[in-house]
Amino acid sequence: MRVDLERALDRGLAALIRAQKADHWEGEVVWCPMLAAQYALMCHITGTPISAERKRRLRLNFERSQLQGSGLWGLHDHSEPYLFATTLVYVAARTLGVGADDPLLQPARAFFRREGGVGAIPSWGKFWLSMLNLYEWEGLNPVPPEAWILPRVVPLHPSNFYCHTRLIYMAMAVIYGRKFQAPRTAWVDGLRAELYPGQTYREIRFRALRSALREQDTYAPPSRALRAIYRAAQAAERVHIPALRRRTMNSLLDQIRWELRTTDHTCISPVSGILNLLALWLWDHRDPDFVRGIEQFEGWIWEDDEDGVRVAGARSSSWDTAFVLQALSRVPISQQSDTVRDVATRGAHFLEREQITTTFEGYRDAFRVDPLGGYCFAGKWHGWPVSDCTAEAITGLVRTADRGHPGYQGPAREVMERGVRFILQCQNRDGGFGTYEAEKSRIGLEWMNPAEMFSDSMTDLSHIECTASCIVALSAIRARVPELSSSALDRRIERAARWLLEQQRSDGSWPGAWGIHFTYGTMFGIRGLRAAGHSANDPAIRRAARFLLERQRKDGGWGEHPSTPLTGVYTPHSESQVVQTSWALMGLLYADEPDAPALYRAASFLARAQNETGEWPKQDMAGVFFHTALLDYVLYRSYFPVWALAEYQSRRQRIDPPRPRQGASISHDDDAHLATLSFREVQNPAV
């Protein structure tokens, strides 16, 4: 079968160029219907109107996200049914006017009957139901505001928590301090009967349900120590001082307002953002920050008539643009065009403008690191820079400049200096890099994780991907501006590389944290070590390459099942995945893998999987966080295949193989010479 790799790359480039939005790229980051449900519930509680059209589209999203076979809802398409997600969607649909006997909700009602009601819902679900007057606060483990006035030196102070977790529980503490419940109405009474079938609500012993957790919803059950903390908090709740609680909650409300004002009233994520808006509304229904927050929440929403209303798990313009620029920088000169150079130049100018160039007053009081010099996953308006977003953005700028585009001369020195300063703030004591900040507590805190559905969510741990990205950026900056190099910076890079080596598993792989899972982590592990100066002959690099090669499928692709982050054991997928194949091919190319036929089969798979439009089909979600939550980064299937094909074509041309005549395809026979050529013979360009 003939495969024209050059044509596949050209078509992929054309599709990627069409996807540019004026001067940047951004694809939707799709999570589960939990967020859309919480948006609808927040609007119901606060009396925020939802148009008839949006109600229709919310229902459409609930229909489209039902799990096949069960008609229920989970944390992603491959999820088992979750009582948590199903209950929130059910109640949200009822607030939108969907009847209890509607076919959309009948499977959920049968599910509630089988479960004996929703009392074993995880604690986040108990929290939402308590606000809606569908559960009692006495049945919830306390979320005391007073935890925030512990001395900061106490390791258990919430300021030491991972930033997403601490912001969620900050808002929860304010709401819990008020123990707000929506008014009881006939509609509420009807919902109570639907959620607790066969039971009389007033006879339910909610205190006995505090520790009730449905096993299938629970990934990280409360530890014995956390249960002891809960018991102590329950005792303290009975004797708390009202005046102290009020002062504490007022202080937390000031923190919530600061969070809104430094994020363009969007907050770090819609999860904490919705809770922040509820916390402000409880104190003042007309609070200006609440009103502005409702307006700005629209930025999280994607909607259409195909999949309805979705609330994005994140906004990704800086992240996507940084990766696209790096993909474009690897396109062989022979396939560069004025259009490619123009879109790359516009993207680079956009990205350089997105660096945070000011220090936020009050960041220390908000338990933050100085955001100066950082890049956010979204844009500078978001206000929450991340280590690897900063690293990939600067790498994208440097690579674009290295390509010699006349319209972009490269990032200014101060851009790189500020970037280095921010990145180094995120290096942990173990040498690896966290996401938003370095780990704060010297003792591990995962044992007190209160979010039973997720894991590794208590501290900003070192991650393979973040560490590798930071090594790549720091090395690129060091090469571009030699005067920024120093022995101190060299030691930082060496420590990070040592940490990567320590994390490699015996089979040669690295586990990912933000992508599926060993394929993603191994690509980054190789990339990081090569950027740190390790040769392709390093035993760690060869073990990693062997791990990838051993998992290549007969069709040339790779496929790792989304259950792998849950089990920690590589599980093959039933079919090859385009995005994962791109990662694996890139990893092998970074490793200067000499098995040219294997590389060709991988590139050919990507070419064969491409649509005539130059795009690649939607497959399973490739992103993940906290082990259990899968994400669909929509643009991953646009730029990672282009990047992999560009990397492959660029390195082949450096070997200068015979080229087919104009318009001819490359076949296995035409390309047989590749089997005798070693990609290790090519000097590895900076990764």
Angle between helices 636-655 and 317-329 (to 10 degrees): 20
Spatial distance between the Cα atoms of 623 and 30, rounded to a whole number of angstroms: 10
pLDDT of amino acid 381: 97
Alpha-carbon distance values, 263 to 259, 260, 289, 356 (Å): 6, 5, 12, 12
| Amino acid residing at 474 | L
496-550 pLDDT per residue, tens: 999 999 999 999 999 999 999 999 999 999 999 999 999 999 999 999 999 999 9
Spatial distance between the Cα atoms of 475 and 558, rounded to a whole number of angstroms: 30
DSSP 343-399: HHHHHHHHHHHTS--SPPTTTTTTT----TT-EESS-GGG--EEHHHHHHHHHHHHH
pLDDT of amino acid 2: 65
Q: How deeply is 22 buried, as exposed, middle or buried, from its count of CB atoms within 10 A (0-12, 13-18, 19+)?
A: exposed
Q: Could you give the residue range(s) of every CATH 1.50.10.20 domain in the chain?
A: 5-27+313-681, 36-239
pLDDT of amino acid 185: 97
Other Cβ atoms within 10 Å of 159 Cβ, number:
16
Angle between helices 186-195 and 83-95 (to 10 degrees): 150
Q: Which residues are marked as active site? A: 388
pLDDT of amino acid 1: 56
> Which alpha helices (H) appear in 179-241, and where do they start and end?
186-195, 224-237
360-384 pLDDT per residue, tens: 999 999 999 999 999 999 999 999 9
Q: Are 684 and 536 contacting, i.e. CB atoms less than 8 angstroms apart?
A: yes
- SS3 of 485-508: the string is CCHHHHHHHHHHHHHHHHHCCCCC
Spatial distance between the Cα atoms of 557 and 550, rounded to a whole number of angstroms: 12
Q: pTM higher than 0.85, yes or no? A: yes
Q: Domain 5-27+313-681's class?
A: mainly alpha
Spatial distance between the Cα atoms of 674 and 684, rounded to a whole number of angstroms: 18
Ranges of residues in the chain whose predicted pLDDT is under 70: 1-2, 653-687
pLDDT of amino acid 662: 39
Other Cβ atoms within 10 Å of 352 Cβ, number:
19
- Residue whose C-alpha is closest to residue 232's, from 469, 448, 44, 525: 448
249 Cβ neighbours under 8 A, 6+ residues apart: 145, 173, 174, 177, 178
pLDDT of amino acid 607: 98
Spatial distance between the Cα atoms of 553 and 60, rounded to a whole number of angstroms: 37
Write the CATH number of the domain with boundaries 36-239: 1.50.10.20
Other Cβ atoms within 10 Å of 483 Cβ, number:
7
pLDDT of amino acid 258: 98
Other Cβ atoms within 10 Å of 331 Cβ, number:
25
Q: Assign 563 to helix, strand or coil.
A: coil
